[in-house]
Structure 1
């Protein structure tokens, strides 16, 4: 078995069918269409579904969607989607490469990118849903007065070693150590 095939088999083992199903259901819920009965990668392979998705989330973000043409046109769809996702708020770390989808090299990363896109929708108040995944954490910056900060200097935290005088001196859990001295 070739090294590339071994790598592909390893990546296939890491895929999460439930996450893939959630991603596909979210996409088609946005379209208001039934979910096709096909494999995750096959539904998304040519980039057309993702182009439609980005144009629903951010109208006009993918101005040209190729529906016919060779491999390069379909890979161009995916490249256009990736640019639109980046502009929408999906980070480079969460993005997949064109070959990950078109050649099926890393469908786990494709799924993770769609989930990252679902999280990014929370950052767009104009989007009214549906949403995918949990709401990302938001900054909750707190300001403390000098009095509040000074009052903490008299408190001994548990990390400082105070545990109401408890020690391990009388601990007899487990087998006790015995030293046997030879005669």
Structure 2
């Protein structure tokens, strides 16, 4: 379906090439392998090929079936299982599944800045953003006790101070503000002294 748009030229082509150059096949391969493992661990068929090239990623994910299955693993009940039974040839049905995956990512905790728009995948506008979203979902899954990859996300470390402790801190001069001990400006000269001749 990506051929329904006019061929890009000029600044649009430069911009598209810049976006395409950010794509990393190693990251895409990690994402597809993770999808295969987590789906098959939950008794669902995963991607048939885990090669990280752009064409394979697009072919595996474009109809939204694998993304819908992944959404149901991450957020149970996110996508109606009847829609995942057989791939639809209708573009709007495929785009609907991709959109439902994005909604499930939102519920799962993937930040808005790391999610992708449906058109990024469906029309191959920004496949790098799709990889970023899948990597973020894998990190979140790892933090929630599921199979995932990537660095461990930090956890909140909330501290509660009493009023007494807060008031005690107001009388202390922080080191970032400098110190009022030890140095004075007495005897400091800047520049050349002025000579007055009688």
Taking structure 2 as the reference length, the TM-score comes to: 0.67
CA gap of 1:24–1:164, structure 2 versus 1, over 3 A, is farther
Aligned pairs (5 A) from 1:5-154: 5-32=13-40, 35-37=49-51, 39=53, 40-63=57-80, 64-65=83-84, 66-121=86-141, 124=144, 128-153=145-170
Divergent runs of 4+, >4 A? 163-166
Q: Which runs of 5+ in 1 are unaligned?
A: 167-183
Structure 1 residue 154: deviation in Å?
Answer: 5.0
RMSD after superposition: 2.9
| Superposed CA offset, 1:22-77 (max 9, x none) | 22221112134675336333322222221121122233321122513132332222
Q: Which runs of 5+ in 2 are unaligned?
A: 1-8, 41-45, 184-198
| Other-structure match for 2:193 | none
CA gap of 1:99–1:30, structure 2 versus 1, over 3 A, is same
Instruction: Work out whether residues 28 and 52 of structure 2, in 8 Å CA contact, stay in contact via their aligned partners in 1.
Output: no
Q: How many residues align?
A: 164
Taking structure 1 as the reference length, the TM-score comes to: 0.72
